Amino acid sequence: MRGRHDLVVLGGGTGGLVSALVAAGTGARVALVEGERTGGDCLWTGCVPSKSLIAAAGLAHRMRHADRVGLEPVDPRVDFARVMEHVHGAIRTIAPEDSPRRLREAGVDVIEAPGRFLGAGRLEAGGRELRFRAAIVATGSEPRMPPIDGLAEARPLTSDSVWGLRELPGRLVILGGGPIGCELGQAFARLGSRVTIVQRAERLLVKEEPRASMLIAARLAAEGVDVRLSSGAEAVEGDTLVLADGERIGFDRLLVATGRTPRTVGFGLDSIGVRLDGSGAVEVDRTLRTSAAGIYAVGDVTGLLPFTHVAAHHARVATPNALFHTRAKIDTTLPWATFTDPEVGRVGLTEEEARRRWGSKAIVVQASYATLDRAITAGEADGFVKLVGDPRGRLKGATVAAVAAGEAIAELSAWMAEGAKIDDISRAVHPYPTFAEGAARAADTHLAARYSSPRVRALSRAALALLRALERPR
């Protein structure tokens, strides 16, 4: 494709792919520049491989605990190499959807080479100089390596490199108790590794409700994971991790899961005036516009929520803004899920955040899955749902920590986006028996409390007495 492009997209992960395809669908002249593989972290090292591994580990766990539903438990023989072949088979199956071929068929000019901005309206890639009206930076993120003495010499695994394993580590130590550390820690433990999670913070999953953190920590411990909270790593000496208190933990492999950092170095962003924040992320406004004219950014590189679905949402906002100078803004109602067992789904405010904003007027209602019929019948009654509302009863946040929480949180996100009240969830008809009823049961408690308050009961009794007096038998 020759001549000036309407849009150049730098980066071929989810944000970049969606941006390029949306632009091509409008008839724009669009180029996508990717120096490694299209598909990004989600396809090659993130969502797809991790959920494939979790699926295998989850089945092994259910086989061992089949007595929950009246079956004979079986301890499966885990061939880790075959499990990893399943993981890579899933990647191979999905890869064509994210391939350069598919992009080119859609009308995207794909340049499979590293790209670098040269100046306003100019980018170099693969020996070509591209000129453009607008550009989208979608270069993603990479694992953050903490400054620990001896760590590099231990050849630590990360969420990027762990997928090269073909032998199950006997002793696996994981640095970090966030979503990646908890998901992979539970999966490897279920497949047979002796797992230790070392978390500097006082609880796991620090962005979630404390009750969800406690639930996951208890489940991991019950499954044999050694969870070390408020434990800082001081050094690595050979095959031993030395903690700040002097304790030493031996390992066969060490996995670093202490977060990710935006990938912004080496792309010439400074040459076009793109400003970065203190963490190295590209600064954007709610339209995803950067400090440079005509330059937008999407996905992990912005330092906003680091999820695939968020990157796709960003792309659908930024692309028309970049092409047509529209002023669409990113949604603030963005859910996420951690795929431990049980899963943890979250959207909006936590109870603590709501209390800081509205004090005792914040509305918080909960329901336990211990009394949810579908959870009981499935032998999965370990979990809860919490709904958070403002003083007017409008839904402002939700946490589901239970089986299928990732599915249930989608409905609650839709309710929030509509500005619905907690009452609305109770009144909506949910199929019985389903896991999605959990949120409705929590909403039921709010509705019941309203109708059973002393003031409402007094008014109801007066109204009923009047009706009894007025309405005579016919």
pTM for this structure?
Answer: 0.94
**Is 464 inside any structural domain?**
no
Rg from Cα positions in the chain = 26
Q: Kindly report the CA angle at 208 between 207 and 213, in degrees rounded to 5?
A: 115
Q: What are the residues whose beta carbons fall under 8 Å from the beta carbon of 147, sequence distance 6 or more?
A: none
Q: Kindly report the CA angle at 114 between 112 and 120, in degrees rounded to 5?
A: 115
Whether residues 265 and 118 fall in one domain: yes
What's the average model confidence in pLDDT over 9-27?
98
What's the average model confidence in pLDDT over 211-219?
98
**Is 462 inside any structural domain?**
no
Whether residues 196 and 285 fall in one domain: no
What's the average model confidence in pLDDT over 159-169?
97
> What are the strands of the beta sheet with 248-250, ordered from one edge?
233-237, 240-243, 248-250
What's the average model confidence in pLDDT over 321-328?
97
Number of domains making up the chain: 3
pLDDT tens string 35-62: 999 999 999 999 999 999 999 999 999 9
Q: What pLDDT is attached to residue 2?
A: 64
The region that residue 207 occupies, defined by phi over 0 for left and psi between -120 and 50 for alpha, beta otherwise, is alpha
pLDDT(101) > 90:
yes
CA distance 110 to 278: 32
Whether residues 158 and 295 fall in one domain: no
CA distance 381 to 271: 56
CATH at residue 304:
3.50.50.60
Q: What pLDDT is attached to residue 375?
A: 97
pLDDT(1) > 60:
no
DSSP annotation string for 330-374: --S---EEE-SSSEEEEEE--HHHHHHHHGGGSEEEEEEGGG-HH
Mean pLDDT taken over the chain:
96
- pLDDT-derived band at 73, boundaries 50, 70, 90: very high
Whether residues 399 and 277 fall in one domain: no
Buried/exposed 194-207: b ≥16 CB within 10 Å, e otherwise: bbbbbbbeebbbee
Whether residues 272 and 243 fall in one domain: no
Which is nearest to 323 in space by CA: 14, 116, 30?
30
Whether residues 44 and 173 fall in one domain: no
Name the token pair of 328: 């669409």
pLDDT tens string 138-147: 999 999 999 9
Whether residues 178 and 81 fall in one domain: no
Whether residues 204 and 66 fall in one domain: no
pLDDT tens string 361-420: 999 999 999 999 999 999 999 999 999 999 999 999 999 999 999 999 999 999 999 999
Q: What pLDDT is attached to residue 462?
A: 86
pLDDT(93) > 90:
yes
Percent of the chain topping pLDDT 90:
93
Q: What pLDDT is attached to residue 474?
A: 66
Question: 10 Å Cβ neighbour count for 406?
Answer: 16
Whether residues 248 and 312 fall in one domain: no
pLDDT tens string 414-458: 999 999 999 999 999 999 999 999 999 999 998 888 777 777 778
pLDDT tens string 331-342: 989 999 999 999
**Is 465 inside any structural domain?**
no
Q: What pLDDT is attached to residue 313?
A: 98
What's the average model confidence in pLDDT over 242-251?
96
pLDDT tens string 61-72: 999 999 999 999
Whether residues 11 and 101 fall in one domain: yes
What's the average model confidence in pLDDT over 235-239?
97
Percent of the chain topping pLDDT 70:
99
Domain limits at 24?
5-143+261-324
